[in-house]
């Protein structure tokens, strides 16, 4: 077979093409194309005429078909002849032969490249196999033998398509073995969707997703595959896929990639490979891994984004493990390799490397040694920039102290990337992306514990494992320590370790094993602050914050705690956040539990008792005085006062006071509980009494039962009879609104006795009013009326007009329940006029709601709707969420009774939303209530007038 004049190529792995020197050769007629295709599939070999006739002409008569075949071959020779030095289709005994090298036919080249790739892979040449697989797959441009519909063409197309899929999957196996699971996951997703019945690529995609830290997506692939197989074939997945599914479920370490294969030849240039080994137990962080891989981008040319990426976060959060894991995943992108240096910025017991020391390491890695390394740091940095100017290099600067340490270590080459880990956010570092790393969520932390301690032990004690995860707070370092302890003591149960970790005074001791210690990790950051002139306030503040059992810390409360001006307190909090010893929130900061334990330890070891006591008293008085200032803003009487040391936060209006209460809810509860266990009972009792009206205003008072009970004990201990009577009345109120009527009555009757003992019999009106409300709810209407009349007689309307209208309003509810509708409506109307003159702003909608109740029970539904609508508007404007929820509910009920079902549903949903937002209903409870066409009235609303 002679040589060709031009490079003739035939392509049918996609739209049909015949090319000569990359220019298309025009062919017309489906039989001409069919004959050429049939010959091309056997290029260089004889194809019998009978075979061609059967495939292309089918049922045509043999004599006519043979003549037609001769004509077609002649036409093809004429069309292709100009591109060959000899006859392109040669006549041979019994048939014809296409005189073309097989590699000039893309389908044959594809098959040959695939064979070579598999042979290279079998011999351990993974790099060569990868290149051959990629070259083979690049030949495909679409459907094989596109446009040819004859049966033989469809058979050949199916064969080629099957081989195409097999090669793609063979290549995926190779890439998975090399650690390219992130890219494989992306590439295989579409393949699996297009071929849902192929189990092999489904298994490969599951493995790739699992290794990429995306186990939930891997499980979803299995479920999708199983669903399609059952629906279309009536079969379950095969045993192999089922075993893989089970392995993913238990996070079996057998699925982990031991070490990606590398192929190095003598002729290749020296490539840096300084990375520490990847962490075998690396778990989760899939989103962070993807983000970092994308940020590092393609190597070898100018970046499309900042060349520096900073991972910051507190000590023990897994920054280094993440950086190393990602570096292993992308190392192949960098032709000059990966350079790694641990800067020891926060290593217990070691001083941070100086820039000069780090430069010596980096220059040594790049081939310089001894006298070749400049002694002057500036010259060394210049030499480093020169050596990296044309490199494709990934530089890992692990455990950096600050910006000054790493600025000289940034390479200058456009093909270089830098990945930095630091506790400091390095906010002043130019041209950098940033990723803040937080704690693992519960599921990922549990998966890590399972890998470290062994899945069998975790499965055997799931509740203990969950408790350990919770106590470790999602810190990978803490989980590593726990895992090491469990591995060292296979006889020890998880429940035993969980029980010991639950003791806060011992937890940091237990989170120390061999060379790993949470306490030491935190202490490094604290020590660094002490060394910095700008960090000394923050260093002093850390143990002070440990004195407070608060969920969060605000600048105002911190200023009170320290006795500093607000700006100084804010600056210290910001510095603690920068050191990753505090976590940020909107206008506030919080400790991670383990950092909080460290801060408490330091407080008791570093601060004199007098300083501790004084600081806590200042902080508690901040909350006490601020409550005093908030209550009048909500239209309530000022609270009883005790001597305090400083003013609280002032408010411009009730809306600002309400926002403060909402934002400080958890802190107020925690402050009250801490005060009750402290040495200052007067402050504790005052703080608890101060919670009542603000919490009632939001509907949270039913959560105060235990706090009130404890405060009553404290008040009794110091013979504070007035406070005890008030607290007892509040406790009865709480039980009333919880629907616990008998215990509520008992506490309220005791409160009556306490008021007499305090010498304040007229103050019994509040307890009598609540007894009247309870008896109304219980249907004991005569008793209810008697209690309310007794309360009214004790109230001086001139001195306490609010009390008088509250009692009269409750009397409205007795009247309509007794069937005295005209009296109820008349009294409610008088209160609508009177209330704005004497009542608090937050309650101004209350009489309108009572008037609506009276109208509704009287059957005057249209008037009821008007009154409820006004009540809802006024209560919403004042922010009285609980009362608004009640009025919205009854408005919805009335609208439903009028047949206005759509409007009714809207009001019911609004009521439930308010109760859910106030945490008075769980989301599940809210959903269940609204699931019914006519929802049942929530128990919370039935417990209140």
More confident residue, 281 or 717: 717
Lateral strand order in the sheet of 417-422: 272-273, 337-342, 394-400, 417-422, 308-312, 432-436
Per-residue buried b or exposed e for 192-214, using 16+ beta carbons within 10 Å of the residue's own CB: beebbebbbbbbbbbbbbbbbbb
Residues 654, 842: Cα–Cα separation, whole Å: 9
SS3 content of the chain, % helix, strand, coil (to 5): 65, 5, 30
Strand partners, 417: 394
Report whether 421 contacts 401 (CB < 8 A): no
Residue 68 has pLDDT above 80, yes or no: yes
Q: What angle do CA 201, 204, 208 make, to 5 degrees?
A: 140
pLDDT of 733-776, one tens digit each? 999 888 899 999 999 999 999 999 999 999 999 999 999 999 99
| DSSP for residue 105 | B
In the prediction, which pLDDT does 500 show? 94
Average pLDDT over residues 362-370: 76
Residue 272 sits at φ, ψ, to 5 deg, of -65, 135
What value does the mean pLDDT take over residues 667-683?
94
Residue 512 contacts residue 485 (beta carbons within 8 Å): no
Q: Supply the pLDDT for residue 481.
A: 93
| pLDDT higher than threshold 90 for residue 649 | no
Q: Is the pLDDT of residue 621 over 70?
A: yes
Of 65 and 56, which is predicted with more confidence?
56
- pLDDT score of 880: 84
pLDDT at residue 93 in the model: 83
Q: Tell me how far the alpha carbon of residue 46 is from its chain's centroid.
A: 65
pLDDT computed for residue 638 by the predictor: 56
Give the helix/strand (H/E) hosting 685: helix 681-698
| Contacts made by residues 203-207, CB under 8 angstroms, sequence distance 24+ | 203/240, 203/241, 203/244, 204/169, 204/172, 204/173, 204/176, 206/241, 206/244, 206/245, 206/248, 207/176, 207/181, 207/244, 207/255
What is the mean pLDDT of the segment spanning 380-407? 89
Q: Over 50: is that where the pLDDT of 732 sits? A: yes
The C-alpha atoms of residue 694 and residue 634 are separated, in whole angstroms, by 8
pLDDT digits (tens, 9 = 90+) for 523-532: 999 999 998 8
User: Average per-residue pLDDT in the chain?
Assistant: 87
pLDDT in tens, 451-507: 888 889 999 999 999 999 999 998 999 999 998 899 888 888 999 999 999 999 899
Q: Residue 658's CB: how many other CB atoms inside 10 A?
A: 22
> Residue 903 above 80 pLDDT?
yes
Mean pLDDT calculated for residue range 620-644 = 75
Per residue in 290-329, pLDDT (tens digit) is 899 888 875 444 445 678 999 999 988 999 999 999 998 8
Residue 218 pLDDT > 70: yes
CA–CA separation, 779 and 813 (whole Å): 11
Top-ranked range on mean pLDDT: pick from 188-192, 301-305, 403-407: 403-407
Q: Specify the pLDDT at position 6.
A: 45
- Angle 446-451-456 from CA coordinates, rounded to 5°: 90
Q: Is the pLDDT of residue 889 over 70?
A: yes
Whether 42 shows a pLDDT value over 80: the answer reads: yes
Q: What is the pLDDT of residues 78-122, one digit of tens each?
A: 788 777 656 788 888 888 888 877 778 888 888 888 887 887 777
331, 179 Cβ separation under 8 angstroms: no
Task: Write down the pTM of the prediction.
Answer: 0.64
Are the C-beta atoms of residues 392 and 299 closer than 8 Å to each other? yes
Q: What's the rounded Cα separation, in Å, for the pair 212 and 286? A: 6
- Minimum mean pLDDT among 417-421, 621-625, 834-838: which range? 834-838
Percent of the chain with pLDDT over 90: 47
> What percentage of the chain reaches a pLDDT higher than 70?
92
DSSP assignment string, 293-337: HHHH--SSS--SS-SEEEEE--TTSSHHHHHHHHHHHHGGG-TTE
Closest CA to 449 of 435, 470, 432, 433: 470
Question: What was the pLDDT predicted at 869?
Answer: 97
The bridge status of strand 89-92 relative to strand 23-24 is: unpaired
What's the pLDDT tens digit per position in 438-449? 999 999 999 999
Q: What are phi and psi of 780, to 5 degrees?
A: -90, 75
Band (265; pLDDT cuts 50, 70, 90): very low
Overall average pLDDT of the 367-381 stretch? 79
DSSP 588: E
pLDDT of residue 802: 79
**Chain-centroid distance, C-alpha 196:** 30
421 close to 399: Cβ distance less than 8 angstroms: yes
């Amino acid at each position: 077979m002679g040589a060709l004049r031009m490079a003739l190529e035939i392509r049918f792995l996609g739209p049909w093409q015949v090319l000569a020197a990359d220019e298309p050769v025009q062919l017309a007629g489906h039989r001409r194309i069919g004959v050429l295709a049939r010959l091309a599939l056997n290029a260089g070999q004889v194809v019998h005429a009978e075979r061609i006739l059967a495939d292309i002409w089918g049922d045509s008569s043999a004599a006519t078909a043979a003549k037609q075949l001769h004509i077609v071959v002649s036409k093809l020779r004429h069309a292709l002849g100009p591109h060959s030095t000899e006859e392109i289709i040669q006549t041979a005994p019994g048939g014809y032969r296409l005189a073309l090298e097989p590699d000039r036919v893309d389908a044959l080249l594809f098959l040959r490249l695939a064979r070579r790739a598999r042979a290279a892979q079998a011999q351990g040449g993974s790099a060569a196999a990868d290149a051959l697989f990629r070259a083979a797959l690049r030949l495909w441009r679409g459907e094989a033998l596109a446009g040819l519909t004859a049966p033989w063409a469809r058979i050949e197309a199916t064969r080629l398509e099957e081989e195409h899929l097999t090669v793609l999957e063979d290549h995926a196996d190779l890439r998975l073995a090399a650690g390219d699971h992130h890219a494989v996951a992306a590439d295989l997703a579409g393949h699996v969707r297009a071929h849902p019945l192929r189990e092999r690529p489904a298994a490969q995609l599951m493995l790739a997703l699992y290794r990429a830290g995306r186990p939930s997506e891997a499980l979803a692939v299995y479920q999708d595959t199983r669903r399609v197989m059952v629906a279309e074939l009536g079969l379950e997945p095969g045993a192999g896929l089922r075993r893989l599914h089970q392995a993913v479920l238990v996070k079996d370490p057998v699925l982990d990639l031991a070490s990606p294969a590398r192929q190095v030849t003598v002729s290749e240039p020296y490539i840096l490979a300084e990375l520490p080994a990847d962490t075998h137990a690396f778990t989760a962080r899939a989103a962070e891994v993807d983000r970092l891989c994308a940020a590092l981008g393609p190597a070898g040319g100018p970046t499309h984004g900042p060349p520096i990426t900073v991972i910051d976060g507190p000590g023990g959060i897994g920054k280094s493990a993440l950086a190393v894991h990602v570096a292993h995943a992308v190392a192949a992108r960098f032709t000059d390799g990966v350079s790694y240096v641990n800067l020891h910025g926060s290593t217990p017991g070691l001083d941070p490397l100086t820039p000069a020391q780090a430069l010596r390491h980096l220059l040594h890695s790049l081939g310089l040694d001894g006298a070749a390394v400049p002694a002057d740091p500036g010259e060394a940095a210049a030499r480093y920039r020169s050596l990296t100017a044309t490199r494709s290099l990934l530089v890992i600067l692990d455990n950096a102290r600050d910006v000054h340490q790493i600025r000289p270590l940034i390479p200058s080459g456009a093909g270089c990337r830098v990945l930095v880990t630091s506790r400091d956010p390095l906010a002043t570092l130019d041209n950098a992306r940033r990723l803040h790393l937080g704690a693992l969520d519960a599921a990922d932390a549990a998966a890590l514990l399972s890998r470290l301690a062994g899945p069998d032990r975790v499965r055997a004690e799931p509740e203990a494992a969950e408790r350990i995860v919770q106590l470790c707070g999602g810190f990978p370092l803490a989980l590593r320590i726990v895992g090491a302890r469990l591995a060292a003591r296979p006889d020890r149960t998880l429940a035993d370790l969980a029980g010991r970790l639950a003791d806060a005074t011992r937890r940091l001791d237990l989170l120390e094993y061999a060379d790993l210690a949470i306490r030491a990790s935190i202490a490094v950051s604290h020590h660094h602050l002490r060394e910095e002139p700008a960090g000394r306030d923050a260093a002093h503040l850390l143990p002070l914050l440990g004195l407070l059992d608060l969920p969060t810390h605000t600048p105002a409360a911190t200023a009170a705690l320290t006795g500093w001006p607000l700006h100084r307190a804010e600056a210290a909090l910001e510095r603690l956040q920068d050191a990753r010893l505090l976590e940020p929130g909107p206008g506030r900061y919080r400790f991670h539990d383990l950092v909080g334990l460290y801060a408490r330890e330091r407080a008791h070891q570093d601060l004199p008792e007098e300083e501790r006591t004084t600081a806590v008293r200042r902080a508690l008085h901040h909350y006490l005085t601020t409550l005093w200032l908030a209550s009048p803003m909500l239209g309530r009487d000022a609270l009883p006062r005790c001597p305090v040391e400083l003013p609280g936060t002032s408010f411009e209006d009730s809306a600002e006071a309400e926002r403060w209460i909402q934002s400080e809810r958890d802190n107020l509860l925690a402050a009250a509980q801490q005060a009750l266990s402290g040495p200052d009972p007067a402050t504790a009792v005052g703080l608890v009494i101060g919670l009542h009206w603000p919490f009632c205003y939001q509907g949270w008072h039913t959560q105060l039962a235990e706090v009130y009970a404890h405060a009553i004990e404290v008040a009794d201990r110091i013979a504070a009879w007035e406070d005890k009577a008030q607290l007892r009345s509040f406790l009865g109120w709480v039980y009333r609104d919880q629907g616990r009527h008998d215990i509520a009555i008992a506490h309220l009757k005791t409160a009556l006795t306490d008021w007499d003992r305090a010498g304040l019999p007229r103050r019994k009106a509040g307890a009598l009013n609540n007894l009247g409300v309870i008896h109304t709810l219980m249907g004991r209407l005569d008793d209810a009326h008697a209690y309310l009349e007794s309360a009214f007689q004790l109230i001086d309307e001139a001195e306490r007009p609010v009390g008088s209208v509250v009692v009269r309003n409750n009397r409205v509810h007795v009247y309509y329940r007794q069937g005295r509708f005209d009296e109820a409506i008349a009294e409610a109307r008088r209160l609508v006029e009177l209330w704005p003159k004497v009542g608090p702003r937050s309650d101004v909608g209350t009489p309108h709601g009572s008037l609506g109740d009276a109208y509704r029970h009287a059957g005057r539904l249209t008037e009821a709707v008007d009154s409820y609508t006004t009540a809802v508007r006024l209560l919403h404007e004042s922010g009285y969420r609980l009362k608004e929820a009640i009025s919205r509910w009854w408005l919805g009920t009335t609208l439903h009774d009028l047949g206005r079902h759509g409007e009714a549903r809207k009001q019911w949903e609004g009521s439930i939303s308010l109760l859910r937002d106030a945490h008075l209903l769980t989301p599940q409870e809210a959903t269940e209530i609204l699931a019914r066409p006519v929802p049942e009235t929530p128990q919370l609303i039935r417990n209140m007038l």
